Chain A
Amino acid sequence: MPGFITNYLDKNVHVTPGQYGSPFWALVYILLVFGGVSLAVVCMNWLERKILAHMQVRLGPMRVGPHGLLQPIADALKLILKEDIVPEGADSFVFLLAPLIILVAGFSVYCVIPFGPTHAITDMNIGILFMLGVSSLGVLGIVMAGWASNSHYPLIGALRSSAQMVSYEVAMGLAVISAVLMTSLNPAGTGTLSMIGIVQAQYAQNTWFIFKFFPLGFIAFFIFAVAMVAETNRAPFDLPEAESELTAGFHTEYSGLRWSLFMLGEYAAMISVSSIAITLWLGGWMRPFPNLLQGPTWDLAFSLFPALTFFGLAAMTFYSTMRMPKHPYFRIQTIGLGAFGGVFVLIALILLIPRVRDGVQDVYWFVAKIAVFLYLYIWYRGTFPRYRFDQLMRVGWKVLLPLGIGVLMATGIMGLRTEIWDFVHRLVHI
């Protein structure tokens, strides 16, 4: 990061730019992450509609491209071509600014997310703090959107949203602190807020923090997992956008590209909070059992997973291709689907090249863990009704917050148990 920016920061904050310590590589990673996240949002859009549809005994998008694969692109085109309406009476400057703030807040978080021990834009020594701080800026955009729309429903949606995000951030922060506390319990004895440091601490302690001091780590993870759904305004905490009550909440008055920026920001936030959870509790980029199953054989076995995943995807695609109707009307679609399968096979083959195979290891496991979280998000949406506002507040303040404080104290006591034991021992012997 250039000096003129770091000068504004605390002198004690150390920032290490990208993989090779140069701004150039940081820039490359910024582009890679921005492109990758945007692509992930597009995939997520299609997957969410498909998976949700199959949970609800329907097919989902089927018309644009084979199995609706081109639907996100069609949607994006439609949104770009739509009129960008600014309602009369709205504060147009704030109205136009709001989606940008949400988007910037959603994407800035990716600065410190480590996709691998060396794959990160930066590694700040206050990484997790930076992340919590920036991601909570999103609420500003929501309040601005609701206020500037000059309409009742968006205003109520924005009020709900800000109250919800502020209250769940408290519980979230407590859960995060308890994980950070655990980093100081390795033999080296130094705690860290750096995202890479947190994962390395898990490696050093031979355990993912979710299993540390069982069930303490698990409870902290659970608190975070609930709070992160609330933070991203997703079902069952999607009150700000409760369709049946507030039509669309804070973005009721938005249309076209600006509306899609809100969606992009929301999905980016979903991915980023999942990454925090993974980094803090689920071993970040590490493959399962990195300490237990060591040796060249295991390394080779695990390094085949990316290729196997893509072969699996290719197999599914070819199976669907075979099941396509034989009518000439579907010929282009069948060919398209087959081509998709071909691309998957190609990617799988590239992933078999030893250099590539070892290079993508860390990123693969990270992305695989994110995918599980995103599936959970969709699953929640398919099964849960929506919380009411007061119940949401009750869960946040009366359940998660005391639980978080309790877990934090218990973690501290567990971490200092030898010292406390010594102290008690001495007291008794005096």
Chain B
Amino acid sequence: MTDPNSSVSHLELEESKKTFLDANELVINMGPQHPATHGVLRVILRLDGEKVMGLECVIGYLHRGVEKIAEHRTYTMFNPYVDRMDYVAAVSNGLGYCEAVEKLLNIEAPPRANYIRVILTELNRLASHQLWLGTHALDIGAMTPLFYTFRDREEILKIFEKYCGARLTTHAFRIGGCQYETYEGFEKDVKKFLTFVAPKIDEYEELLTTNRIWVERTKKVGTISAKDCIALGVTGPVLRASGVKWDLRKAQPYAAYKQFDFEIPTGQHGDTYDRYLVRMAEMRQSLRIIQQAVDAIPEGPIMAKVSKVMKPPVGEIYHSIEAPKGELGYFIVSDGSTQPYRIRVRPPSFVNLQALDLMCRGQLVADVIAVIGTLDIVLGEVDR
């Protein structure tokens, strides 16, 4: 991937500075079938011994043309497709899309629907972070956290399954609210889950946070400054770990987030360890939000009045939400028909992946793995 600030790619620039001393470079192809590239990411590494001199990402192995598909579907029909982008945080994807279309139609979901949306989205954020933690730790060599996180993530998926019948690609929301009323005992389940999972998060931390090897493997690895983050458009926990207090849930509150009291955890150094701490803190904040939402969930309808055939007025809209991985935005152009003229998704994984080259340069091969893990990419979202 090229540096957006210069017209020459990194690799070409390096090539011109080459002397005969740097002749022994090894070009290694990592992926698309590799255990630690989180799917089908292909990274071409240029190595000097173990040191990474530069790398290039090759993406597109999971491209399904989701944005193009949207142009041939009605607004309602496209809704399930967005779940297939970031499949570990499908609920967030659905929320972003539904809210964008609602904005376009100029309708608003009723309060009860918004509360259900917040609860499910935050549960999904927790599940996404748990999956990230497990795989990230596995990449660095700690096997055990993976099984712990998957055990606890299972409980979240069970709640999803009870709510809408699906575990992963939930299709939980509809344009204008939620299709389903919460099931009998939903609040009890969520509350039970909250008391169940809080000590489990301490358990993960016990295995890793003060572990000497973990700290050595993550501190000062893949450091990125706040300036570079902003220049590259990096968002989410990666941006916050660099010290920028930017969270769309606070900055441009959507759904019912205005009503809840929570903090935005930030880091200072922008290294892998800080990103780990930020995400761990975010899990706890999510629990706080869910607790408040479950306690104060209002009664009332769950769907706004939406006509069966949706024909939004001619115009365009950009709406973004804070997905677990960063800013997830939908840009929708409507030509007044039942089908969108164009949908462009701003996926956080894709944009964050641009920082990979910057973060890995000069580090070792093992750090590339750690950095891919800490960026928390999902290739379904990168390639769409």
Q: Which residues of A contact B (CB under 8 A)?
A: 52, 55-58, 152-153, 156, 160, 235-236, 238-239, 242-245, 247, 381-391
Is the pair B151, A57 in contact by a Cβ cutoff of 8 Å? Answer: yes
Is the pair A245, B142 in contact by a Cβ cutoff of 8 Å? Answer: no
Taking CB atoms, residues of chain B closer than 8 Å to A152 are: 26, 28
Known: A244-B138, A245-B369. A386 touches B148 (CB 8 A): no
Taking CB atoms, residues of chain B closer than 8 Å to A58 are: 147
Known: A382-B144, A384-B142, A385-B137. A390 touches B211 (CB 8 A): no
Is the pair B141, A383 in contact by a Cβ cutoff of 8 Å? Answer: no
Q: Does B367 contact A (CB under 8 A)?
A: yes
* Docked complex Cα distance between A238 and B213 (Å): 13
Known: A244-B35, A385-B214, A387-B217. A235 touches B365 (CB 8 A): no
Is the pair B144, A247 in contact by a Cβ cutoff of 8 Å? Answer: no
Q: Does B36 contact A (CB under 8 A)?
A: yes
Per-position binary interface string of chain B over residues 141-157, scored 1 when its CB falls under 8 Å from any chain A CB and 0 otherwise:
11110111001000000
Is the pair B211, A384 in contact by a Cβ cutoff of 8 Å? Answer: yes
Q: Does B139 contact A (CB under 8 A)?
A: yes
Question: Which of B50, B138, B211, B213 neighbours the largest number of chain A CB atoms within 10 Å of its CB?
Answer: B213
* Docked complex Cα distance between A55 and B147 (Å): 9
- Which positions 347-384 of chain B face chain A at CB distance < 8 Å? 364-367, 369
Q: Does B216 contact A (CB under 8 A)?
A: yes
Q: Does B166 contact A (CB under 8 A)?
A: no
Taking CB atoms, residues of chain B closer than 8 Å to A236 are: 141, 213
The secondary structure that dominates the A interface is: helix
Return B325 CB to nearest CB of chain A, in Å: 20
Subset of 20 A-B contacts with CB under 8 Å? A55-B144, A56-B144, A57-B148, A57-B151, A152-B26, A156-B50, A238-B141, A244-B35, A244-B36, A244-B141, A245-B36, A245-B369, A247-B34, A384-B211, A385-B213, A386-B142, A387-B141, A388-B217, A389-B364, A391-B213
Is the pair A56, B147 in contact by a Cβ cutoff of 8 Å? Answer: yes
Chain A residue nearest to B27 (CB atoms) is: A152
Chain B residue nearest to A394 (CB atoms) is: B216
Taking CB atoms, residues of chain B closer than 8 Å to A238 are: 141
Taking CB atoms, residues of chain A closer than 8 Å to B365 are: 156, 245
- Which positions 193-235 of chain B face chain A at CB distance < 8 Å? 207-208, 211, 213-214, 216-217
* Docked complex Cα distance between A242 and B366 (Å): 9
Taking CB atoms, residues of chain A closer than 8 Å to B141 are: 235-236, 238, 242, 244, 384-387
Return A160 CB to nearest CB of chain B, in Å: 8
User: Which 9 pairs of residues, A with B, have the shortest CB-CB distance?
Assistant: A386-B141, A244-B36, A56-B147, A385-B142, A385-B141, A244-B139, A385-B140, A388-B366, A385-B213
Taking CB atoms, residues of chain B closer than 8 Å to A52 are: 143
Taking CB atoms, residues of chain A closer than 8 Å to B34 are: 247
Chain A residue nearest to B363 (CB atoms) is: A388
Is the pair A245, B143 in contact by a Cβ cutoff of 8 Å? Answer: no
Per-position binary interface string of chain B over residues 17-52, scored 1 when its CB falls under 8 Å from any chain A CB and 0 otherwise:
000000000101000001110000000000000100
Taking CB atoms, residues of chain A closer than 8 Å to B369 are: 244-245
* Docked complex Cα distance between A56 and B145 (Å): 8
* Docked complex Cα distance between A199 and B22 (Å): 53
Return A51 CB to nearest CB of chain B, in Å: 12
Is the pair A384, B213 in contact by a Cβ cutoff of 8 Å? Answer: yes
- Which positions 318-368 of chain B face chain A at CB distance < 8 Å? 364-367
15 other contacts beyond A245-B366, A385-B211, A387-B216, with CB at 8 A cut-off?
A: A56-B144, A56-B147, A57-B151, A152-B28, A160-B50, A243-B35, A384-B142, A385-B140, A385-B214, A385-B217, A386-B213, A387-B141, A387-B213, A389-B364, A389-B366
Taking CB atoms, residues of chain B closer than 8 Å to A388 are: 216-217, 364, 366-367
Chain A residue nearest to B30 (CB atoms) is: A245
Taking CB atoms, residues of chain A closer than 8 Å to B207 are: 383
Return B320 CB to nearest CB of chain A, in Å: 33
* Docked complex Cα distance between A122 and B139 (Å): 45
Is the pair A383, B144 in contact by a Cβ cutoff of 8 Å? Answer: yes
Taking CB atoms, residues of chain A closer than 8 Å to B142 are: 383-386
Return B220 CB to nearest CB of chain A, in Å: 11
Taking CB atoms, residues of chain A closer than 8 Å to B364 are: 388-390
